[in-house]
Structure 1
Amino acid sequence: MGQKNFILDTNVLIENPKCITALRNGQDNNIHIPYTVLTELDKLKRDPRIGHIVTQAIHSILLDGKLAILSPEYAERIDAANPDDRILKETLGSGIDDPILVTNDRILQIKAGIHSLRCEGYKDSDPFRSDSQMYTGFAAEDDSPAINNFRWENGTPVFHGVHGPKAITYTHEVWGVKPRNIYQNLALDLMLNDDINLVSVQSEAGYGKTFLALASALFLALEKKDNPYRKVYLVKPIWEIGSKMGYLPGTVEEKMLPYVRYIRDLAVKLHEQRPANRIFMDTDSERFRFNQKKFEILPIAYIRGMNLENCVVIIDEMQNMSRTEVRSLLTRMGEGVKCICLGDTRQVDNPYLNESNNGLNWVVKKLRNNKEYAHMVLKGERSRGPITDMVIKTGL
Structure 2
Amino acid sequence: MSKIYVLDTNVLLQDPRSIFSFEDNEVVIPAVVLEEVDSKKRYMDEIGRNARQVSKLIDNMRETGKLHEKIPLENGGVLRIELNHRSFHQLQDIFVEKTNDNRILAVAKNLSLEEEEKENGRPVILVSKDALVRVKADALGLQAEDFLSDRVVEVDHIYTGLIDLYINNDLLDRFYEKGELNVTELTNHPFYPNQFIVMKDSLGGSASAIGVVDSTGKKVKKLIFNHEHIWGIRSRNAQQTMAFELLLRKDIPLVTLIGKAGTGKTLLALAAGLMQTEDLGEYKKLLVARPIVPVGKDLGFLPGEKEEKLRPWMQPIYDNLEYLFNTKKPGELDAILAGMGSIEVEALTYIRGRSIPEQFIIIDEAQNLTKHEVKTILTRVGEKSKIVLMGDPEQIDHPYLDEYNNGLTYVVEKFKEQKIAGHIRLVKGERSGLAQLAADLL
Length-normalised TM-score, structure 2: 0.58
Deviations 1:245-277 (A, max 9, x none): 1111222211111011121111111112xx9xx
Q: Does 1:151 align with 2:206?
A: no
Which residue is equivalent to 2:331? 286
CA distance in structure 2 between the aligned counterparts of 1:316 and 1:209, rounded to whole angstroms: 9
List alignment gaps of at least 5 residues for structure 1: 1-34, 60-75, 84-127, 276-282
CA distance in structure 2 between the aligned counterparts of 1:254 and 1:208, rounded to whole angstroms: 26
Whether the 8 Å contact between 1:138 and 1:145 is mirrored in structure 2 is no
Whether the 8 Å contact between 1:139 and 1:146 is mirrored in structure 2 is no
Residue 197 of structure 1, aligned match among 253, 256, 259: 253
Quote the offset at 1:295 in angstroms: 0.6
Whether the 8 Å contact between 2:362 and 2:387 is mirrored in structure 1 is yes
Name the amino acid aligned to 1:238: I
Whether the 8 Å contact between 1:199 and 1:340 is mirrored in structure 2 is yes
Q: Does 1:209 align with 2:254?
A: no
Which residue is equivalent to 2:302? 248
Which residue is equivalent to 1:370? 418
> What is the aligned-residue RMSD (CA, Å)?
4.7
Whether the 8 Å contact between 1:147 and 1:162 is mirrored in structure 2 is yes
Quote the offset at 1:197 in angstroms: 0.6
Q: Does 1:388 align with 2:388?
A: no
State the identity as a percent: 31
Whether the 8 Å contact between 2:152 and 2:410 is mirrored in structure 1 is no
Deviations 1:5-61 (A, max 9, x none): xxxxxxxxxxxxxxxxxxxxxxxxxxxxxx9xx87x97885696xx9xxx9xx99xx
Which residue is equivalent to 1:310? 358
CA distance in structure 2 between the aligned counterparts of 1:130 and 1:344, rounded to whole angstroms: 16
Quote the offset at 1:367 in angstroms: 1.7
Quote the offset at 1:222 in angstroms: 1.0
Alignment of 1:46-57 (within 5 A): none
CA distance in structure 1 between the aligned counterparts of 2:232 and 2:332, rounded to whole angstroms: 23
Alignment of 1:211-230 (within 5 A): 211-223=267-279, 225=280, 228-230=282-284
Q: SS of the counterpart of 1:377?
A: strand
Q: Does 1:231 align with 2:278?
A: no
Alignment of 1:124-139 (within 5 A): 131=153, 134-139=158-163
Deviations 1:163-184 (A, max 9, x none): 7421349333211111121111
Cα 1:297–1:144 shift into 2, 3 Å = same
Which residue is equivalent to 2:215? 162
CA distance in structure 1 between the aligned counterparts of 2:342 and 2:403, rounded to whole angstroms: 34
Aligned length: 322
List alignment gaps of at least 5 residues for structure 2: 24-84, 92-101, 106-149, 166-187, 201-207
Whether the 8 Å contact between 1:172 and 1:189 is mirrored in structure 2 is no
Whether the 8 Å contact between 1:136 and 1:376 is mirrored in structure 2 is yes
Which residue is equivalent to 1:334? 382
Q: Which has the higher contact order (CA 8 A, sep 6+)?
A: 1
Quote the offset at 1:287 in angstroms: 5.2
Whether the 8 Å contact between 1:131 and 1:364 is mirrored in structure 2 is no
CA distance in structure 2 between the aligned counterparts of 1:348 and 1:251, rounded to whole angstroms: 28
Residue 345 of structure 2, aligned match among 273, 282, 297: 297
Q: SS of the counterpart of 2:349?
A: helix
CA distance in structure 2 between the aligned counterparts of 1:172 and 1:80, rounded to whole angstroms: 70
CA distance in structure 2 between the aligned counterparts of 1:236 and 1:301, rounded to whole angstroms: 9
Which residue is equivalent to 2:41? none
Deviations 1:76-127 (A, max 9, x none): 9xx97499xxxxxxxxxxxxxxxxxxxxxxxxxxxxxxxxxxxxxxxxxxxx
CA distance in structure 2 between the aligned counterparts of 1:385 and 1:284, rounded to whole angstroms: 23
Deviations 1:268-317 (A, max 9, x none): 11112xx9xxxxxxx96535223373111111121122221221100111
Whether the 8 Å contact between 1:230 and 1:294 is mirrored in structure 2 is yes
Cα 1:44–1:237 shift into 2, 3 Å = closer
Cα 1:238–1:44 shift into 2, 3 Å = closer
